[in-house]
Structure 1
Amino acid sequence: MREIRFHGRFGQPVGKLTRAMGKELLHQGKHVQVFDAFAAVRPGAPMYSVIRVGDESIRKRSANNTMPDIVVVLDNSLFGVIDVTKGLKSDGTVMALGVTENALGEKLKGFSFVSLDPYLQPNSSDLAAVFLKVLAERGVLMVNK
């Protein structure tokens, strides 16, 4: 099983993105769980969504104490507000938009880093397909495309 946590702000397509990815992976025969987690329902409030993907049934049910393989940060201002790497596995990867590895410095704590900027084209309409492609290229998910 692979676990990926997406961080963003309320109003960004964090939940929509993980549900679209989950739907595509279900069509490919994968077992999928998707959880949204947010506190205040107000524009700009930090939130996250977790997607778990496996070839067999997933027994874990909680979204609170996640241990992701990858953390995807859609809003780089979150690095200064919350610890997006909380629970990230020691061999985990941080993927982020609009920020470089050098700019993050100590916040990476030895995790690997992937900039998402080269993958996203202006006006990309199918973000789920873009993320599935990136995760497949990184060897995180085996995608049937």
Structure 2
Amino acid sequence: MVESTCLSMKFMFSGAHRVRFSDVYGGVHGHNYDITIRLCVRGGRRMLVTDIDGVRREVQGIINAFDGKYIKSSMESAQGLMPSEFVEVPCIPEGATGECVAWYFMDRLMEILRKLGINDVTEAQVIVCDSPINCFEAKSS
């Protein structure tokens, strides 16, 4: 059995989006998003797992870019929006879903880990909650 140690980081931002396929959430509406990032690395029982502050600093930069913005699908029109008013994530034409936001953050997290030279990750997880009862998870192992 390979031992691993995990660490978690929590972030928050406020943003708006819409998902046109939904009768309930088809209009523009906002959320206070809770983001949890969990990293597991080999070993770490009695040693430094990784520099959590370095990872946190990099992720916080992405969080800051989302705060107070409209979250737009890359396939959605930007009509009426100034470039400074939105962030774009790869998603369906009907709007940016929580699943798409979770995978966007996972992709950015993997880039951050490569940039910081952290290559002993056995599992990475991003959980995006747009309410206390709706969470979306992206997981890589």
TM-score, structure 2 length as denominator? 0.32
**Structure index of larger Rg:** 2
Question: Which of the two has greater strand per residue?
Answer: 2
RCO higher in structure (CA 8 A, sep ≥6): 2
TM-score, structure 1 length as denominator? 0.31
